[in-house]
Chains A and B, each alone.
Chain A
Amino acid sequence: MHSSNRSGGGVLALINPIKAISPACPLEEVAEEFFKPEYAKVLSLPVVENGLPVGVISRYRFMDIYLKRYARELHGKRPIRHFINDKPLLVDLDQTLASAAQHVAANMQFPLTEDFIVIRQGQYVGVGFVMDLLKAMERQMQAGTEELEKAYSQLKSSQLALVQSEKMASLGQMVAGVAHEINTPLGYVQNNVAIGQELFSQVQTMIAGYEALVDSLLDERANEEQIAAQMKLVAAMRNDVNVQEMLGEMHGLMADSLYGIGQISELVINLKNFSRKDAAATDMMDLNDCIESALNIGRNVLKNKVEVIKELGALPRISCAPSQLNQVFLNLFTNAAQAMEAQGTLHIKSWHSDDDVHVCVADNGKGIPEEIIARIFDPFFTTKPVGEGTGLGLAITHQIIQQHGGEIRVESRIGEGTHFHIRLPIVSARAAKPALLEATA
């Protein structure tokens, strides 16, 4: 649809079908033409011979000649040929609006006294008004601008969607990990309770048996036979289930269950600390707490594979968005775990200088090749297979650190590992709120 604007259609819409005059036409007849009311807007009339435009006569020039004293008498019968501008402004019908406008703008005379002639393959087609051309041009630019604005807003919203999907992906990963962490204690706690419930009813039956036996022993009317039968019943029950032993075991299971419930509560507290949905977006935080929170949440990814060595120095609190920094650390830790082909170590160090807090995260994984290290913070850069990474993890990390007025640097050696160094200012230089991430947080 845009192509029609750019092709002949654009110029076509500007054509006014004005009857051309012949070069032989006498001046006085041209006067009549100019005075026709339908030509009131026309600045100039085209002069055409055998279909080819030979010039124009502008109203301005015509008046200049014709209104002079005795002009009618002197020139009235003379053909217009002698008075025309034989270098008219020509626009080809097949030209684009833009190139037509460019051509007209470059060649038009001031003050504007002539219209331009539209031709096709050299043949006269009609007359166009310069003002119409400029207006059409303006409309086209307007439409172009709107299109650009639309594309820009679409781009912006798809960027938001991508950042969101990266967040959802890491959230999904985290939730799956935590769910597994919870499933283990939940598994045995639930089973223990079910076992306890069954044992409880067995014990109940047993006690009822003993009570019946005691009752019959105390009952003076009970005879030997009844007592013997009751004793046999109790003995059978004892034989059937070793309640003493089971109760002893149950004791251990109860302790296990309490331990498991403790684990689940701890996981829930960790999750809450991590997301900090109930806390202010910005807070005075000790970065060591963010590191611990991320380690807790990432435990499922790290355990069995990564030995974590912590060297956390005492840090001053800094003003930051804790949930974002938690995300930064979790991202670095899980990346490190993924970089390890087998077992590995993750070395986390924190310290501070007068102005800054520093955190260093180092792994002994496979390292990042030199040719890609400059691109790892680029959005959409990923080495993972399609569908497994959006390539936004480190880009978001980078963005969060920048918005906190800090910086993140990376060093890596193939086969030896990768080293991320984060520096955050103690006195926050955050001028504005990080709009993009806040909006999607």
Chain B
Amino acid sequence: MSKPTLLLIDDEERILRSLRMLFFVGYRVHMTTDPHEAIRILREEKIHVVVSDQRMPVMQGSELLRIARETSPATMRILLTGYSDLDASIASVNEGEVFRYLMKPWNAEEVKSVVAEAAAIAEASFAVQSHTETASDVAIAKPRVLIMDHDETTARTVHETLGDRCEIVWASDAQHAMEELAKQDISVVVSDLMLGETNVGYILKTIKQLNPQTQCIVVTTFNDTSRLIDLINQAQITRFLPKPVSKGIFARNLESMLERFHMVRSQPVLQKRQAVAPISDPQEQVQAGNFMGMLGRLRARIGA
């Protein structure tokens, strides 16, 4: 296998030189300070992983990654930024659909291992792309949508949009959500970040660990950049919609998530593209561990 190819974009050349050296062994590295040049390279070359800065004079990183998504869908996208602002992180989820949101200053070993993981996934994606493997239409159970939000407008829109094709479950609390998860896998999760008094971040992270096919949409009034970044990396949420969200936008995103779920299910390599990072918060690790354990016991009892 030839060396994987990286594309690095940052408006500071010293960042580029430094990162290139980190991947001196084992990779081919392209780098540029100009996002337009980066788009040209993406068009012309096979790029495994693109690592972009967010704040640049010509173009925001999330915008560049959105273009990369269209230009070269198999390429894995990583944002590396020193600025944790909410708009940028929302755009990186919804438009850039980034694999990881990494912060400057970065940990050299962490970045190395994330890029290595991404490169391997990209390689597999490229292989599938060339085979153009089509969806194997096995008789499929009705998709299930889990709502974890006390807001009735959320539930109503979900029912109106997907009610005809999906089984919809509205979980009132963490216990209820767990029982539903135990019964059968979930296709799409629509969740606020708070379910009553419970911070459901760990549940979303656990769900994605359990079943990488599940697509998560977060709709919330809760705007905390560092928690969002956590959810990008550790739950690979696919959409983050700040409340109040217009019904049209919400419905469109629900549709595309269901579509995404079908795609991911038919092409296992797409699941890897949403591989999650380990949970970093110690308290959440404990919560997720308990959740997983209880869920396992429940499943054993139900499924037997």
Q: Does B104 contact A (CB under 8 A)?
A: yes
Q: Does B14 contact A (CB under 8 A)?
A: yes
Query: Which of the candidate stretches A130-138, A187-195, A220-228, A327-335 sits at the interface with the other chain?
Result: A187-195
Distance in Å: Cβ of B32 to nearest Cβ of chain A: 16
Determine if A190 and B17 form an interchain contact, defined as CB atoms under 8 angstroms apart. no
- In chain B, positions 17-32 with a C-beta closer than 8 Å to chain A are 17-19, 21-22, 24-25
Determine if A187 and B21 form an interchain contact, defined as CB atoms under 8 angstroms apart. no
Contact partner, A184, options B15, B19, B21, B57, Cβ 8 Å:
B15
Determine if B15 and A188 form an interchain contact, defined as CB atoms under 8 angstroms apart. yes
Q: Does A139 contact B (CB under 8 A)?
A: no
**Contacts A195-B18, A304-B57 given; does A187 touch B24 at CB 8 Å:** no
Distance in Å: Cβ of A304 to nearest Cβ of chain B: 4
**Contacts A260-B14, A304-B57 given; does A195 touch B106 at CB 8 Å:** no
- In chain B, positions 236-261 with a C-beta closer than 8 Å to chain A are none
Q: Does A185 contact B (CB under 8 A)?
A: yes
Contact partner, A253, options B21, B103, B106, B109, Cβ 8 Å:
B21
A250 to B17, CA, bound (A): 10
Q: Does A246 contact B (CB under 8 A)?
A: yes
Interface string of A237-271 (1 = CB under 8 A from B): 00001000010011011001001100000000000
**Contacts A184-B12, A256-B14 given; does A195 touch B21 at CB 8 Å:** yes
Determine if B18 and A188 form an interchain contact, defined as CB atoms under 8 angstroms apart. yes
A189 to B14, CA, bound (A): 9
Which residues of the other chain, B, contact A192 by a CB distance below 8 angstroms? 18, 21
**Contacts A187-B15, A188-B15 given; does A249 touch B104 at CB 8 Å:** no
Which residues of the other chain, A, contact B83 by a CB distance below 8 angstroms? 176, 180, 183
Which residues of the other chain, A, contact B299 by a CB distance below 8 angstroms? none
Determine if B19 and A249 form an interchain contact, defined as CB atoms under 8 angstroms apart. no
Closest to B85 in A: A176
Contact partner, A180, options B17, B24, B82, B106, Cβ 8 Å:
B82
Which residues of the other chain, B, contact A195 by a CB distance below 8 angstroms? 18, 21-22, 108
Closest to A194 in B: B108
**Contacts A180-B83, A183-B104, A194-B108 given; does A256 touch B18 at CB 8 Å:** yes
Which residues of the other chain, A, contact B25 by a CB distance below 8 angstroms? 241
Q: Does B105 contact A (CB under 8 A)?
A: yes
Distance in Å: Cβ of A250 to nearest Cβ of chain B: 7
Q: Give the interface centre of B14, B19, B83 by most chain A CB atoms within 10 Å.
A: B14
Which residues of the other chain, A, contact B108 by a CB distance below 8 angstroms? 190-191, 194-195
Q: Does A186 contact B (CB under 8 A)?
A: yes
Distance in Å: Cβ of A340 to nearest Cβ of chain B: 14
Closest to A252 in B: B17
Q: Give the interface centre of A187, A241, A252, A303 by most chain B CB atoms within 10 Å.
A: A187
Closest to A202 in B: B25
Which residues of the other chain, B, contact A180 by a CB distance below 8 angstroms? 55, 82-83
Distance in Å: Cβ of B285 to nearest Cβ of chain A: 26
Which residues of the other chain, A, contact B103 by a CB distance below 8 angstroms? 183
For the side of the interface on A, what is the size category? 20 to 34
Determine if B22 and A186 form an interchain contact, defined as CB atoms under 8 angstroms apart. no
Determine if B17 and A187 form an interchain contact, defined as CB atoms under 8 angstroms apart. no
A249 to B85, CA, bound (A): 34
Closest to B11 in A: A304
A180 to B25, CA, bound (A): 29
Interface string of B193-216 (1 = CB under 8 A from A): 000000000000000000000000
Distance in Å: Cβ of B185 to nearest Cβ of chain A: 40
Closest to B111 in A: A191
Distance in Å: Cβ of A311 to nearest Cβ of chain B: 25
Contact partner, A191, options B56, B57, B106, Cβ 8 Å:
B106
Determine if A191 and B12 form an interchain contact, defined as CB atoms under 8 angstroms apart. no
Determine if B104 and A186 form an interchain contact, defined as CB atoms under 8 angstroms apart. yes
A246 to B25, CA, bound (A): 10
A252 to B19, CA, bound (A): 13
Distance in Å: Cβ of A269 to nearest Cβ of chain B: 20
Determine if A253 and B82 form an interchain contact, defined as CB atoms under 8 angstroms apart. no
Determine if B19 and A191 form an interchain contact, defined as CB atoms under 8 angstroms apart. yes
A250 to B15, CA, bound (A): 14
- In chain A, positions 182-218 with a C-beta closer than 8 Å to chain B are 183-192, 194-195
Determine if B22 and A187 form an interchain contact, defined as CB atoms under 8 angstroms apart. no
Distance in Å: Cβ of A116 to nearest Cβ of chain B: 62
Using A189-B105, A191-B106, A192-B18 as known contacts, list a sample of 18 further A-B pairs with CB atoms less than 8 Å apart, ordered by residue number in A: A176-B83, A180-B82, A180-B83, A184-B15, A184-B82, A186-B105, A187-B18, A187-B105, A188-B14, A188-B15, A190-B105, A191-B108, A195-B18, A195-B21, A241-B25, A249-B17, A253-B21, A256-B14
Offer 5 A-B interface pairs, CB within 8 angstroms, sorted by A. Answer: A176-B83, A186-B104, A190-B105, A256-B14, A303-B57
Lowest 4 A-B CB distances belong to which pairs? A183-B82, A187-B104, A194-B108, A188-B18
The chain B residues found within 8 Å of chain A, CB to CB, are 12, 14-15, 17-19, 21-22, 24-25, 55-57, 82-83, 85, 103-106, 108-109
